[in-house]
Every structure is written in structure tokens, then in C-alpha cells.
Amino acid sequence: MVVERRTPIQIGEGVKRVLTYTIHKSSEQLAVENTTNRVLAEDLVADHDVPPFDRSPYDGFAIRAEDTGEASQHNPVFLKVVEEIGAGEVAASTVKQGQAIRIMTGAAIPKGADSVAMFEVVKEHEQNSEPMIEVARRFTKGQNISYRGEDTTEGTTLLKKGTLITPGVIALLATFGYAQVSVYQKPRIGIFATGTELLDISEPLQPGKIRNSNAYMIAAQVKEMGGEPVYFGKLKDDFDACFEAISTAIGKVDALITTGGVSVGDYDYLPAIYEKLGAKVLFNKIAMRPGSVTTISEYDGKLLFGLSGNPSACFVGGELFIRPFIKQSLGSTPFLSKTKAVLQSNFPKANPFTRLVRSKVQFKPTGIFVKPTGLDKSSSVTSIAEANAFIVLPGGTRGFEEGAEVDVLLFESESEHNPWIN
């Protein structure tokens, strides 16, 4: 048997080919409390000013600045307190010359008043059992007033569709009375694990068998990226059974992930399945380690992500190709952020392919440091758990030494910048 020769392409080129495809989802209405991590499908325009009225930013006294015109340490002025209001209340009286209204944070500035003297800067007295305040400094018109519209004005576009809904976004939605929010439907991403050696999570180990970890890992990745994983189960390495299951599943989802079976082994049937389907192969070899056998093809307008069965390689394939695809489909920021970090161990071996080393980045006062989290093999499963970043070591270069500055991709930080384009 002749082993098929595959021509590797660079990661950037692979990402570019994947991103020529997008899943177009319509929107759905959800209660605002169920929208965390979803993506806005409508622009949010302010339909009123925030704050909606002039209000007090402090607990104190609403006064007329001109009444304090001559006030000083040695020449305090005395103002009569005519009313008291808390947040949510509106004063019944107008502040007239020589008067003040006791006011709490968030309460509307009473008519006639144009500044607020905080509790801390006044002395309170009683005169004939009438409350008075003593003010020993000058105030200017507008001092200590939180003005209507100072946060945002009516008509401002606050959020664009495609915005990821974070707690801060939810605060804005609530501010503008959005009990229901229009969000994009989640792309439905089908998942199959392939491999006769695979056991279900709850099965005891048997000779020669391992538990299927990839399906659960990639489902979690898909979820985190904003997609809806649809797990179709695991398949034995049997061409007909795999072909049947895969060709049926495609119609039920927006894209399909398989793990395993994309290499050149005797039981690696995915390439033949793509061929029989008549799928267009975008690439079947990528210049990266791990995951060089990652194969992505298109059938009926849908992408089929053929990820390696090796857990680390499967994880990398998901982060590099599926993440930007799902994110782009949601109109959101597609990439992991890239930064520089100082390497904390040696990498003596050179490699012709770009390496993505599962690593832990630490932000310290002295700089950003990174070290690998475990066994640097595509088969490693333990190295993924602790990782919060990939070290990206360009292919073709010599080894790397401790102290060298390297590129890292951060799992918990996204960017609009494509890290594979300089």
C-alpha cells in the first residue's frame, strides 16, 4: 500500500480557508438573565439619557452656590434646612435664598439648587429646633452634581450587534429596559468520536481500551466558544458504519466535528469518507505540532472538522480552527489574543512545523512568564488541564532557550487581530 503524500500548509493559510465559510444563524429572543455569553443580534441604542435627571452623587445638602459666595473658614454662612429627601424621592419645595435641602445619593437635585455640599464639609446645628447647616467654604454652580446625560445621551449607539454579552452588557440592557434581548441562535456543532478503542466515561477500563475524552473536551470547547454541541456518540472504526452515521448527521447540524481517523493508518477512514461524500477538502495537512493531520473539508456548504484523535492535537485543532469559525459566525471577535512572554524552560529540539505547546502563563510584576504544563506530546491529556495558553514556537527555527521571548496565545483573552497575520 502506498501511503498518501500530503502537502502541509501554514496555520494562517488554513485559518484563512476556514474563515471563507460562515454559519448564518437567525436571532432569538431571550430573557436578559439568560443571555450571559450569548451574542447580541441587534444594536443597542440609548432611548433616554443616563442618568435620566440631574442627581446628587453624595449624601449632603442641595444648596444654591451663590449663597456661599463670601463663605470661608472665618466667615461661614448658615442655611436653613427646609426638607429632606432620599433616593427615589422628589423634593416638594424649591431651594430659595438661604435654604438647603438634605439630600441622599441618587436623589434628584431639587429646583433652585445648583450644587451639593457633602455631609463631611458642613456642620449641622439647630436653631429654635429648626435644622440649620453651617458652610465654611465657597461652592461653584454645578459642583457635585451628576448631570442628566453625563453617562450617555439619548440616541447614542451603545453596543453593536455581535457584542458578547458580559455582566457589564447586561447592566446596560437592564438600564434601558430590555427584559427580552435579541441574540444570535447558537451554531449547532455535531460531534462524533471515532475509534474502536473508545470506552464511555462510565465504563471500567478494559485491556487495550481507553475512555473517550475528546468528545467531552471538544463539546466543552464548542460551548465555551458560543456554539451548541450536539454529541452523536462514538463510532467504531468501520467504514460503512462511519459513513452512514456521518452522512446522516450532517443534515442535522451546521457543522460537524469528528475526532480520530484522519491519519494514514489502516483504520483511519475519514479521508475515504470525505472522498465518498464528494466533500471538498480545504486542507489535510497543516504545518503544526500537534495536529498536523487535522483535515477540514466542506460538504453541502457545511464544514467538516476532522480533528486528530490525540487529545492535545484535538484540543489545538479546536482552538485554532473551530474557535474563529464559530466566533465569526456569531459576528463576534474571533481569535485568541497573542502576547509575548519569557520562556521558563529550554526547548532544544528544532522542528520544521510551528509548535503549539500547552502552557501556563503567569502575569507577575516583573513581566509575563510562560512554561509548558506537561508532556509535550500530541497524545498527552494531562498537559491540557492546567494550560491557559499556547506557546507558539515558529517552525524551522533552532531550539529555544530559557529566558527567550516567545509568542503566546492566551485562552482567556480574545482579540480581533488574527495572530497568524503580522
Closest CA to 304 of 360, 356, 350, 242: 242
**In the set 10, 27, 143, 213, which binds ligand AMP (CB under 6 A)?**
213
Is residue 407 a contact point for ligand AMP (CB under 6 A)? no
Is residue 286 a contact point for ligand AMP (CB under 6 A)? no
Residue 212 binds which entry of ligand AMP, Mg ion, none, CB below 5-8 Å type-dependent: ligand AMP
Q: In a 10 Å sphere around its CB, with 0-12 CB exposed, 13-18 middle and 19+ buried, how is residue 356 labelled?
A: buried
Question: What distance in Å separates the CA atoms of residue 253 and residue 178, rounded to the nearest whole number?
Answer: 31
- Decide whether 35 or 308 has the Cβ nearer to ligand AMP: 308
Residue 133 binds which entry of Mg ion, ligand AMP, none, CB below 5-8 Å type-dependent: none
- Decide whether 108 or 288 has the Cβ nearer to ligand AMP: 288
Helix (H) or strand (E) holding 274: helix 270-277
Stretch that binds Mg ion, among 82-90, 106-114, 119-127, 192-200 (CB under 5 A): 192-200
Task: Say which amino acid occupies 328.
Answer: Q
Task: Cell numbers for 216, please give them.
Answer: 467531552
Contacts with ligand AMP, 362-381, as mask; x by CB under 6 A: -----------------x--
Closest CA to 409 of 395, 393, 392, 384: 392
CB 38 within 8 A of CB 184: yes
In the complex, the smallest distance separating the C-beta of residue 327 from ligand AMP, rounded to whole angstroms, is 24
Distances (CA, A) of 126 to 22, 75, 81, 105: 72, 18, 10, 23
Contacts with ligand AMP, 290-319, as mask; x by CB under 6 A: ------------------xxxx--------
Total number of residues shown for the chain: 422
- Decide whether 187 or 261 has the Cβ nearer to Mg ion: 261
Residue 156 binds which entry of Mg ion, ligand AMP, none, CB below 5-8 Å type-dependent: none
In the complex, the smallest distance separating the C-beta of residue 170 from Mg ion, rounded to whole angstroms, is 43
State the helix-helix crossing angle for 239-250 and 270-277, rounded to 10 degrees. 50
Residues near ligand AMP (CB under 6 A) are: 193, 195, 197-198, 210, 212-215, 259-261, 263, 265, 268, 308-311, 379
Residues near Mg ion (CB under 5 A) are: 195, 260-261, 309
